[in-house]
A and B are shown apart, each in its own frame.
Chain A
Amino acid sequence: MVRFAAALKRAAPVVALAFLIAGCATQGPFATAEKLDRRAADLRVVLMPPDITLSELTVGGVQEVNAEWTAAAKTYAQQALQTFLQQRNTQLVAYKEPENADAAHMHEQLIKLHEAVGNSILVHQYFQPLQLPTKKDKFNWTLGDEVQALGRDEGADYALFVHITDSYSSPGRVAAQILGAFIGVGIPGGVQVGYASLVDLRTGEVIWFNRLARASGDLRKPDAARATIDVLMSKFPS
C-alpha cells in the first residue's frame, strides 16, 4: 500500500497531464470573426513584446532555461509572424514603449490585464474542470475599451500577444486556483503554456485566441519556427 501510494504520488502529475490533454480540455482555436475589419486602408497589427522563455528538459528531469534559445526564439517568432501576416496583406509593427510615464504605466496595466484575461481563457474556457458554464460553447472575452490608448499610442488597429513559457503547478493547486484567483490567477496542470491572442484595439474584444499544444513547436531555428507559427496562428482572421 505504501509503495503504491508513493508510486501514485510520483505519477500524479503525469496522471493529471493525461487528463488535461486527453479528456478535459476543449480544443480551440477560438475566433469571433473570420475576417479583420479592413475599413482602414492600411491595417496595422502591433506585436506586443513576446513573452517567451525556452527551457530544456535535462536528463535529471529539470527545466533549464536557455538564454540563447530564448533570444533566438524571440527573433524567429517575430520574423515568422511578420511573414505570416504579410502573406495575408497585414502589416506587423513592433511595440514601442512610450516615453511618457503615465502612458507607460497604462500600457503596463493593459499588458497585465491581458495576462489575466489570457490566463482566465486557459483556466475557464479550455480547462473543463474549471470551465465557467456561461462560457460553454461561446467565446466572448474582452479587455474593455481602455485599449484604445494602446491603439492611439502605437498607431495600430489590433494587438497580437504571444506568450510561450514553461509553467508548472502541481495538480493539487488546480482546485485552489479559485480561492486565490481574485488575487492572481494561475495555470493548472503541468503543461507548457503557450498562447497567442488578437485583440481589437477599438473595442478591446479578443477576436482570436489559440493555445499552443505541448508537443508542437520548435522556435529555435528559422524553418521550424515558421512551421510552429503556422500552427499557432491557425484560423487567424484574414
Chain B
Amino acid sequence: MKRFLILAAVALALGGCANGFSLVAGERAQIGSTMSIAPGGIWNRQILGNNEIWTLDGPALQTLRFVAGAAEGEPMMPRPNATFNEPQKDAPKFHDNMTPPEVAELLVATFTQLGANNTETKGLKPAKFGADDGFRFEISYAARSGLECQGFAVGRIKDKKLYMAIYTAPKLFFFERDRGRVEHMIETLRFDT
C-alpha cells in the first residue's frame, strides 16, 4: 500500500510537471525559521527538510547547502524517505555536545555514506558565521564519476542545534568562479532572534 501511494505521488508529481526548484532573489531570503541571508542575485533553491540546496547550474556543478538547525540525534543531511531505500537510521547523526572537529568528522562521514570518494577536510579554524562566532574548514572529495570537487563549510552550534553553510563544486572552473560571491553571501547570514 505504501509503495502504491509513493508511486502515485511520484506519478502525480510528474504528471503535473511539478517543479522541484524555485527562484530566490531579492534583498533577503528566509532560510528555515531562524536564519536569513542576502542572496546577492538570482538562485535556484530546493528545500529538503531542514536543508536547503541553492544552485545556479545544477547541484552537480555547484551546491550551496544550508543546514538550518539539525538537532540532537538528527542527521546533517536528511533523506527523502520515499525515494531512498537506506533508512534514516544509518545516517551519521549530530550530537549537541560536538566540538568543531567532530562536526568536520560528521561531514566526512555523511559525504562518504552518500558515495563521495576520498573525502577530506582541512584548515579547521574559527570564523564568523554571519555575525556570530563559529568555525570553518575546507573540503575536498571526488564525485562518483571521479570528478574532483572542492568546497568549504562554515558552521555554528547555537542553542544545541547545528547550523551550516556548505559550498561544493567541481575543482575545474566551477569552485573558483562563484566562491567570492558565496563568501559575501555567508557574511550576510543573520539569525532572526
Contact of A123 among B4, B58, B82, B84 (CB under 8 A): B58
By CB atoms of chain A within 10 A, which of B15, B57, B111, B144 has the most? B57
Question: Given A115-B145, A172-B83, A183-B111: A178 and B46 within 8 A (CB)?
Answer: yes
| Residues in chain A near residue B193, CB distance under 8 A | none
Q: Give me the interface of B with A, judged by CB distance under 8 Å.
A: 1, 3-4, 6-8, 10-11, 13-15, 17-23, 42-44, 46, 48, 53, 55-61, 63, 65, 77, 79-80, 82-84, 111, 114-116, 141, 143-149, 168, 170-174, 177
With most chain B CB atoms within 10 A of its CB, the pick from A8, A119, A182 is A182
- Report yes or no: B8 in contact with A8, Cβ–Cβ below 8 A: yes
Asked whether A146 is an interface residue with its Cβ less than 8 Å from the other chain, the reply is yes
In the assembled complex, how far is the CB of residue A153 from the closest CB belonging to chain B, in whole angstroms?
A: 15
Interface residues of A (CB under 8 A from B): 1, 4-5, 8-9, 12, 15-16, 19-20, 23-24, 108-110, 112-113, 115-117, 119-120, 123-124, 128-134, 141-146, 171-176, 178-185, 204
A-B contact pairs, 18 of them (CB 8 A): A8-B8, A19-B14, A19-B15, A20-B14, A23-B17, A24-B14, A112-B145, A113-B172, A129-B18, A130-B19, A132-B21, A133-B19, A133-B23, A144-B177, A171-B10, A175-B83, A178-B59, A181-B63
B1 to chain A, nearest CB (A): 7
Chain A contacts for B115, CB-based, 8 A: 180, 183-184
How far apart are the CA atoms of A16 and B83 in the complex, in Å?
Answer: 15
**Which residues of chain A come closer than 8 Å to B1, judged between CB atoms?**
1, 5
**Smallest CB-CB separation from B173: which chain A residue?**
A144
Q: Apart from A132-B57, A183-B115, list 11 A-B contacts with CB within 8 A.
A: A109-B148, A110-B172, A124-B57, A132-B58, A134-B23, A174-B83, A179-B53, A181-B59, A181-B63, A182-B143, A185-B60
| Structural contact, B19 and A129, CB atoms closer than 8 A | yes
A116 adjacent to B7 (CB under 8 Å): no
Question: Is B7 touching A172 in the complex (CB atoms < 8 A)?
Answer: yes
Question: Quick check: A12 and B7 within 8 Å, CB to CB?
Answer: yes
Contacts of B79 in A (CB 8 A): 176, 179
Closest to A23 in B: B17
Contacts of B53 in A (CB 8 A): 178-179, 182
Contact between chains at A172 and B58 (CB < 8 Å)? no
With A5-B3, A184-B144 given, is the CB distance from A175 to B63 under 8 Å?
A: no
Bound-state Cα–Cα, A174 to B82, Å: 11
**B4 x A5 contact (CB < 8 A):** yes
A182/B48 contact (C-beta < 8 A), A8-B7, A16-B11, A176-B83 known? no
Residue of A nearest to B171 (CB): A109
Distance, CA A108 to CA B59, complexed state (A): 21
Question: Is the beta-carbon distance between A145 and B173 smaller than 8 angstroms?
Answer: yes
Bound-state CA distance A12–B65 (Å) is 31
Question: Are A23 and B20 closer than 8 Å at their CB atoms?
Answer: no
Which residues from chain B contact A141 at a C-beta distance below 8 Å? 57
What distance in Å separates the Cβ of A114 from its nearest Cβ neighbour in chain B? 10
Cα separation A128 to B13 with both chains bound (whole Å) = 11
Q: A8-B7, A20-B14, A179-B80 are in contact. Are A113 and B111 (CB under 8 A)?
A: no
Find out whether the CB atom of B145 lies under 8 angstroms from the CB atom of A184: yes
Q: Nearest chain-A residue to B167 (Cβ)?
A: A182
